A and B are shown apart, each in its own frame.
Chain A
Amino acid sequence: DVVMTQSPLSLPVTLGQPASISCRSSQSLVHSDGNTYLNWFQQRPGQSPRRLIYKVSNRDSGVPDRFSGSGSGTDFTLKISRVEAEDVGVYYCMQTTHWPPWTFGQGTKVEIK
């Protein structure tokens, strides 16, 4: 199974400042079709998860452009250019390259300082 490891697990941020979350996989997420199937999800308090980013760097419809994804192979990053109050929640990375099982990171809790 592919193990996804996120850091940090807790991220206090100041409003308007940038934030960055790292995600590492235990093996390369490059699929035989050439794509890298790494997703990022946001889960606000009391809500269902919402996909923000797919295939490393593609934003879903309606996702603000302050969110960006990057990386390759086994190392990936989610960046928030300027944190807003509505960004509070838990962020998960997830790989859909090697399955089953589909695997998530442990989650990173973003809170406002």
Chain B
Amino acid sequence: EVQLVESGGGLVQPGGSLRLSCSASGFTFSIYWMHWVRQAPGKGLVWVSHIKNDGSSITYADSVKGRFTISRDNAKNTLYLQMNSLRAEDTAVYYCVRGTFDIWGQGTMVTVSS
């Protein structure tokens, strides 16, 4: 079964850091671009970041540029999102999504609050 499973979410204080992970299974992870998409409580979907299959191209939404870092380990079939300098407005469910947006994980909740 094709599956993406996120982990690493939680409660963090403003200015803090978190690292999200996304474990992929059921498909050849190394040939797919991957994305992170987030959804604030009661709000819509917002694209956050993408990474090409071999890591050679990376892009970020302006709202997270300079604070978030996307990476991947194709040997471990895992996608990461390192989130630093977190703000209240980063509070959201973070989804790991396969390249053409055809497969989504269940999401992991990140709450930034003091």
A interface residues, Cβ below 8 angstroms from B:
39, 41, 43, 48-51, 54, 60, 90, 92, 94, 96, 99-107
Q: Report the Cα distance A104→B45, complex, angstroms.
A: 6
Interchain CA distance A102-B60 in the complex, whole Å: 10
Chain B positions near chain A (C-beta within 8 angstroms)? 35, 44-47, 50, 59-62, 95, 100-102, 104-107
CB-based nearest A residue for B96: A48
A-B contact pairs, 26 of them (CB 8 A): A41-B101, A43-B45, A48-B95, A48-B107, A49-B45, A49-B95, A50-B104, A51-B104, A54-B102, A90-B44, A94-B45, A94-B101, A96-B100, A99-B50, A99-B59, A100-B47, A101-B47, A101-B59, A101-B61, A102-B35, A104-B45, A104-B46, A104-B47, A105-B44, A106-B44, A107-B45
Q: Can you name the residue of chain A whose Cβ is closest to the Cβ of B61? A: A101
Give the distance in Å from the alpha carbon of A49 to the alpha carbon of B105 in the complex. 9
Interface centre among A51, A101, A103, A104 (most CB of B within 10 A): A101
Verify A100–B50 contact, CB threshold 8 A. yes
**Which of A41, A60, A100, A103 is within 8 Å of B59, CB to CB?**
A100
A2 CB to nearest chain B CB (Å): 11
